[in-house]
A and B are shown apart, each in its own frame.
Chain A
């Protein structure tokens, strides 16, 4: 269970059970981001979470974005980091910067 693929299997399982599911993937990092590019977080419409894209700092914000992607079907590319205004809200304690791609599992 190389971790990002284990998350994919979990997401596929939710999908097969009739859930609406979105996948968030770390696509780029700078500085001391705790999770490398390729790390995945699966989110279901009912609020289930599996995996991670950070040490827990931004999972909430990513899950909110995932709900929007599940509703619209449109993917999003999210920026997190100290240079970003949203950092004031979500706060990256690690001081890193990262980009997260969010897509719906069709």
Chain B
């Protein structure tokens, strides 16, 4: 790998720009995509690798090429600078997420409680909208307070984010579903919300709950059966 390629990969990483590293395995020749000069077969494979976040192999003119996607990190938006968030944030960082914590309550969202983390002291609708959740973003609400959580959920439900989770019991969630319906969301759409949040590992402490949440986010991202719930809305209403 040449210094120029290494630098370009680092620059793309810093700018959160997706790039694919194309390597001809016969001689180690490399280039980065997007690149207008790339042959169509490689360009197509590079686009697919970035979309699927999966490396691939292509044979071009009898030579094997390795297509290595380098996507920007997945993002986690945490609404609520609460105790569980303090446990969740470092775990999420360790698993490769770029994390942002949203809480208008400045007493909670402090750099002492969240060292080195991007904190946004705005209402969750404005904050989440500004962060523009996409298909590589997870949104978790943890305040347990409708006026703090609901606006963020409203925005998240209108986005392509791959995971939405909301802290709260089944009863709390049933009330939340009713409010979100009032706000104009269809019950099927509200079914995207994982609530009660996290895999059921009978978590008790804040770090245990954080672990269950992160495990569910990852299970969802990887398409694990564990992440699928049977009719969560109906269950909540029962």
Q: In the complex where A75-B27, A101-B23, A103-B28 touch, is A27 in contact with B66 (Cβ < 8 A)?
A: yes
Cα A75 to Cα B36 with chains together (Å): 26
Cα A106 to Cα B57 with chains together (Å): 24
Instruction: Mark out the residues of chain A between 19 and 33 whose CB falls within 8 Å of any chain B CB in the assembled complex.
Output: 23, 25, 27-28
Q: Mark B1-22, 1 if CB is under 8 A from A, else 0.
A: 1110010011001000000000
Q: Which residue of B lies closest to A28 (CB)?
A: B57
Q: Which residue of A lies closest to B70 (CB)?
A: A5
Instruction: Mark out the residues of chain B between 172 and 229 whose CB falls within 8 Å of any chain A CB in the assembled complex.
Output: none
Q: Does A8 make an interface contact (CB < 8 A)?
A: yes
Q: Does A96 make an interface contact (CB < 8 A)?
A: no
Give the size range of B's interface with the partner.
20 to 34
Give the size range of A's interface with the partner.
20 to 34
Contact A2 B96 (CB under 8 A): yes
Residue in contact with B1 in the complex, picked from A2, A37, A77, A105, CB distance below 8 Å: A105
Residue in contact with A101 in the complex, picked from B6, B25, B93, CB distance below 8 Å: B25
Q: Which residue of B lies closest to A73 (CB)?
A: B28
Q: Does B104 make an interface contact (CB < 8 A)?
A: no
Residue in contact with A5 in the complex, picked from B2, B13, B93, CB distance below 8 Å: B13
Contact B10 A75 (CB under 8 A): no
Residues in B whose Cβ lies below 8 Å from that of A103: 1, 23, 28
B interface with A by C-beta (< 8 Å):
1-3, 6, 9-10, 13, 23, 25-28, 54-57, 66, 68-71, 73-74, 93-94, 96
A interface with B by C-beta (< 8 Å):
1-5, 8-9, 12, 15, 23, 25, 27-28, 36-38, 75, 77, 101, 103-106
Could you list 17 A-B pairs, sorted by A, with CB under 8 Å? A1-B94, A2-B73, A3-B96, A4-B70, A8-B6, A8-B9, A9-B10, A27-B55, A36-B55, A37-B57, A37-B66, A37-B68, A38-B55, A101-B25, A101-B28, A103-B1, A104-B1
